[in-house]
């Protein structure tokens, strides 16, 4: 028990030292669009919310990918919902309970109903608020499919290391249907940069940010200090600049 308390105090000190208030994650469960129960964490914005960001993880991962990211989004005025998709695993020291419930990994495309369930949950939990989708690696591809299928429900797209990863789905074709603001980035890797540029280039959106980082790593981990100590701060500035364009205007 003492160890647990010390960890909580240490985490709190880190957040406050970074200028981020303590944001508490609320465990939630909801049905995917095909009925499978999906687990995740909902973190409320500090102050009046700009909206809700749906946070989807990379292959072999789970919602803990966003443990240091969701509090920063809360400090920027964004609530967030980070979920365990059925295609995932135990990265970041956490068990993916949705994947465990599903049994075997059914593949990337099979996670789309989980994303759709998260969208429905956010609409119900935060009626009238704008919803932004955020993907990492394979889910950075799926968010384009999700946004193309639900054009009236999604106000923006952030994709960290997107690519043509999904068998039977053209991510560029999905991007060609998206007119809301889009942000893409990648690892500091020529192939990843090319993939991201190709996908965002297919979209007719008026606001498109193709951010090429000086120090980038694959997926949303580019914003985690433990995975990208050299580039995290610069990459966060790019993300914040994009989110500021989506924020609710003040009157």
For the stretch 97-156, pLDDT in tens is 999 999 989 999 999 999 999 999 999 999 999 999 999 999 999 999 999 999 999 999
For the stretch 27-73, pLDDT in tens is 999 999 999 999 999 999 999 999 999 999 999 999 999 999 999 99
pTM strictly above 0.85: yes
Fold of 21-246: Rossmann fold (3.40.50)
Task: Count how many residues are written for the chain.
Answer: 251
Each domain of the chain, given as residue ranges in start order, spans: 21-246
């Amino acid at each position: 028990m003492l160890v647990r308390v010390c960890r909580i105090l240490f985490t709190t000190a880190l957040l406050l030292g970074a200028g981020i208030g303590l944001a508490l994650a609320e465990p939630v469960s909801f049905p995917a669009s095909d009925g499978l129960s999906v687990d995740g964490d909902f973190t409320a914005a500090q102050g009046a919310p700009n909206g809700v960001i749906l946070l989807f993880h990379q292959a072999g991962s789970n919602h803990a990918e966003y443990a240091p990211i969701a509090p920063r989004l809360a400090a920027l005025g964004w609530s967030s919902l980070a979920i365990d998709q059925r295609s995932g695993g135990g990265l970041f020291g956490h068990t993916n309970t949705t994947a465990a419930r599903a049994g075997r990994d059914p593949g990337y495309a099979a996670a789309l109903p989980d994303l759709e369930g998260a969208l429905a949950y956010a609409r119900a939990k935060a009626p009238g608020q704008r919803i932004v989708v955020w993907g990492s690696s394979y889910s950075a591809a799926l968010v384009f499919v999700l946004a193309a299928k639900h054009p009236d429900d999604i106000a923006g797209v952030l994709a960290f290391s997107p690519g043509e990863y999904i068998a039977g789905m053209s991510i560029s074709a999905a991007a060609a249907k998206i007119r809301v603001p889009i942000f893409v980035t990648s690892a500091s890797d020529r192939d990843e940069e090319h993939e991201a540029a190709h996908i965002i280039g297919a979209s007719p959106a008026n606001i498109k940010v193709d951010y090429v980082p000086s120090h980038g790593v694959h997926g949303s981990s580019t914003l985690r200090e433990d995975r990208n100590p050299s580039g995290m701060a610069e990459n966060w500035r790019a993300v914040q600049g994009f989110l500021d364009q989506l924020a609710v205007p003040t009157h």
